[in-house]
């Protein structure tokens, strides 16, 4: 019978491949939400990111305006889904900023 002894490095490499796939060998173990591909515009958040890339939020926009603009571009999502996407993109380091104006929440590009 063949003796199969592995070094610690070989065992760690195998475990990393099993858990992380091929990314385990390289630096930057995967992508975070913030560094997802710019061309990935799927889902409600992707739709809002698409609008950002097209300059939609250069002027203040409310949730209903955003939802209508998404629907015109074949992103048909509920008010709650679009609101959640806007909320996530207005986080601390997000591309949008939210502010209240006349009792309405408005969204605009972060400077």
The predicted model gives 50-58 an average pLDDT of 95
Pick among 1.10.10.10, 3.40.50.720, 1.10.3720.10, 3.40.1530.20: CATH of 43-109: 1.10.10.10
Q: What is the DSSP secondary structure assignment for residue 25, as one 8-state letter?
A: G
Confidence of residue 35 (pLDDT cuts 50, 70, 90): very low
For residue 24, the model assigns a pLDDT of: 42
Domain ranges of the chain: 43-109
Q: Residue 26: is its pLDDT beyond 70?
A: no
For residue 5, the model assigns a pLDDT of: 79
Alpha helices in the chain (DSSP H): 8-20, 43-53, 63-72, 79-89
Q: What is the pTM of this model?
A: 0.64
Q: Residue 75: is its pLDDT beyond 90?
A: yes
Q: Are 57 and 108 in contact (CB under 8 A)?
A: yes
């Amino acid at each position: 019978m063949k003796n199969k002894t592995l070094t610690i490095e070989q065992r760690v490499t195998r475990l990393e491949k099993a858990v992380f796939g091929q990314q385990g060998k390289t630096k930057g173990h995967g992508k975070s939400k913030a560094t997802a591909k710019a061309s990935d515009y799927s889902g409600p958040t992707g739709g809002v990111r698409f609008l950002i890339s097209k300059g939609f939020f250069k002027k203040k926009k409310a949730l209903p305006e955003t939802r209508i603009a998404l629907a015109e571009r074949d992103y048909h999502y509920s008010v709650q889904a679009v609101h959640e996407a806007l909320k996530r993109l207005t986080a601390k380091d997000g591309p949008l900023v939210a502010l209240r104006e006349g009792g309405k929440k408005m969204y605009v590009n972060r400077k």
